[in-house]
A and B are shown apart, each in its own frame.
Chain A
Amino acid sequence: MRYPFWRLGVFLAACVAPVLWLYQAWIFALGPDPGKVLVDNFGLGTLILLLITLAMTPLQKLTGWPFWIVVRRQLGLWCFAYVVMHMTMYTLFVLGLDLGQLGVELVQRPYIIVGALAFLCLLVLAVTSNRYSQRRLGARWKKLHRIIYVILGLGLLHMFWIVRADLKEWSLYAGIGAALLILRIPMIARRIPRLKLAGPTQSAKS
């Protein structure tokens, strides 16, 4: 396994936030409505992880350090783990485990439908993220995993429908997302310069 310590570092970093939030909720440090805060935190966490995952390819192009691609799958799976927590918290604390109501929400509310679609796509990516699927799907694997761009769009739309009064935070994420997509346009991707950074390439020895 390449870069075991770097990978462990990413793993631990991704664990820190959920453990901290759950602990804060436990001791009532998240305020009087901790369930709702957890839903929001995990939702936003999912979006941020999605953006980080999408940043790996451009970063690899920029620095030439292979680690960015090595860690990409783990980040994608974390993104999926966060969205599972997001939905679990929503079902538990917003719907109060009323599964009948979940059905109603899934049919009636556009932002829930869009969110659920994004989740289904992430599920497909998570399930096919292993080597076996990569071999099995061959060239189609790459095509399939391009739906991450669709997921980004759905996720941003889901958030857009929730924040109604001030778009500052949303614009920031949408802007970063747009930039990451623009960097993938072949004409632009070809022009990403290769930086000669001493740091990362030396670290590659680990």
Chain B
Amino acid sequence: MLIKLPSASDSKESDVTPESIYLSRRTLMASSLAGLAVTALPRWAQAADPSRYADVEAGKAPGWFAEKLPSTQWQAVNVKDEAITPYKDATHYNNFYEFGTDKGDPAKNAGSLKTEPWSVVIDGEVAKPGRYALEDFMKPYQLEERIYRLRCVEAWSMVIPWIGFPISALLKQVEPTSKAKYIRFETLEDSKSMPGQRSDFALIDWPYVEGLRLDEAMHPLAILAVGMYGRELPNQNGAPLRLVVPWKYGFKSVKSIVRISLVSEQPKTTWQSIAANEYGFYANVNPKVDHPRWTQARERRLPSGLFSPNVRETQMFNGYEEDVASLYTGMDLRKDY
């Protein structure tokens, strides 16, 4: 028998902010911030160039991105009192096994990834399936900057200013049918440009697959990102299109997406297939449920130096509990980890 004792940090259904208020608050915050940003920032920042953040390498932005960037809604969502991770660390400490298993491998090897032209297939339970060139795929969306915490299942974390748009906007475009219960994402499979996929010793069954429940995907915090630090995504961070779900462990946020399918059954995800006892489908950040091989109660916020270790308590749902807890009401998060 399962006895569920409410802990002090559990929210009751009644505590949950109604979505309309939540959304209007966000709009209010965003618009006031955007207004502030425009008036308070110097001239160069309004041009929305990468110099918005320190030490950002300029990339070669595709035309559609350069066109959309100036109208980006800056700091649409922010984190409170937390420093943004230096650009160099966010781009040179990555897990992107298609380019190697060491943290530095993606930065070293991802130059071979060709992100233009790029197309995305939309299929499954949708009214409007199809294969879209990325520039057409992106047309309907207004870009927003979302500054999110990123918590890796390996117990390190960062704060990253993403640029993207809510998945809900995409779903509105493609019109899921009533049979659609989950959304499935697939990374590019191309052993020519992805050395990790050429390894004979890899346990991953390429391509990398991830998924969300449809209501999770509809949540306003869940986005598809095309940029970070005021520029397009560097290849090692999942260019040109990746998922960002800030309340879940980083491995859920699949990179370099080529296929998005609406499906009726829970998709079999990559890490679940390798070790189901270690990586669940939900993978919500949860300090109370340990990974079998290490504790999830704390995290190293990078950079964490030898003599200035930056170790902090991990927050429930990575600090987005207020926003997302209602998605999991009545679920046993120890079982559905």
Contacts and interface: CB of A to CB of B under 8 A. Distances in A.
Given A31-B93, A31-B104, A166 B302 contact: no
B305 A28 contact: yes
A111 B293 contact: yes
The 9 closest A-B pairs by CB, nearest first: A32-B303, A168-B201, A32-B302, A32-B89, A167-B201, A96-B311, A166-B202, A166-B101, A25-B306
A109 interface: yes
Contact of B295 (A93, A104, A171): A104
Contacts of B305: 28, 34
B92 A31 contact: yes
What does DSSP make chain A's interface, helix, strand, loop or mixed? Answer: helix
B156 A165 contact: no
Interface of A: 25-26, 28, 31-36, 38, 93-94, 96, 101, 104-105, 108-109, 111, 161-168, 170-171
Interface string B291-304: 01111001010111
B199 interface: yes
A163 B101 contact: yes
Contacts, number: 79
A93 B306 contact: yes
Interface residues of B, number: 34
A17 B278 CA distance: 34
Contacts of A109: 292-294
A10 B300 CA distance: 36
A26 B306 contact: yes
A34 B199 contact: no
Nearest to B154: A36
A164 B116 CA distance: 32
B101 A33 contact: no
A161 B277 CA distance: 13
Contacts of A36: 156, 300
A93 B309 contact: yes
A1 B290 CA distance: 53
18 contacts: A25-B306, A31-B92, A31-B93, A31-B104, A32-B89, A33-B156, A33-B303, A34-B304, A35-B304, A35-B306, A94-B294, A105-B295, A109-B292, A164-B203, A165-B202, A165-B203, A165-B274, A168-B201
Given A33-B103, A164-B278, A166-B97, 14 more contacts: A28-B305, A32-B85, A32-B89, A32-B303, A32-B304, A34-B306, A36-B300, A96-B298, A108-B290, A165-B203, A166-B196, A167-B203, A168-B199, A168-B201
B289 to A, nearest CB: 13
Interface in B86-110: 86, 89, 92-93, 97, 101, 103-104
